[in-house]
Structure 1
Amino acid sequence: MWYLVVIVVAALVSVALAPRPPQPKPASLSDIDAPTAEEGRPIPVVFGSVLIRGSNVVWFGDLEAEPIKRRGGGKK
């Protein structure tokens, strides 16, 4: 019976002394791998399906949020 007490105490001590993982840093706009638009940068010619990192584009969508407006409450 005493071995159960030793096992429970050892488990509690190991949980209490375990190192805590570091907190992740919050995401920022620089973490997004968005395409760039630079003058003089070469534009690659791709044949087939290829993953291009850091592509050069002339326009990349609206980075704005638009509020959702409800009409009719979703009834038909």
Structure 2
Amino acid sequence: MPSTIVHHTISIITLDAGEVMLDHCQDGDIALVQQDDGWWVNFIGEDGAVDGYETPFDSYNKALGTAKAAAEFAAE
């Protein structure tokens, strides 16, 4: 089951292994997804478009910190 943190009106959703982003996220959300190579920060856009950084973060805390910074920027 995904967990959600709301930071500056932006939902940051951490998905469990095997969960599909677009089943739990909507336009404007940020999704944190762990894969074998690290934690990926994904930005959900209109019509299910997904964008993100080119490389993963090596820890959940680094990915979450980046997502929070992005949420602050987006909320301005």
Q: Same fold (TM over 0.5)?
A: no
The TM-score by the shorter chain falls in which range?
under 0.3
Q: Which entry has the higher C-alpha Rg, 1 or 2?
A: 1
Q: Compute the TM-score of the two structures, normalised by the length of structure 2.
A: 0.20
- TM-score, structure 1 normalization: 0.20
Greater fraction strand: 2
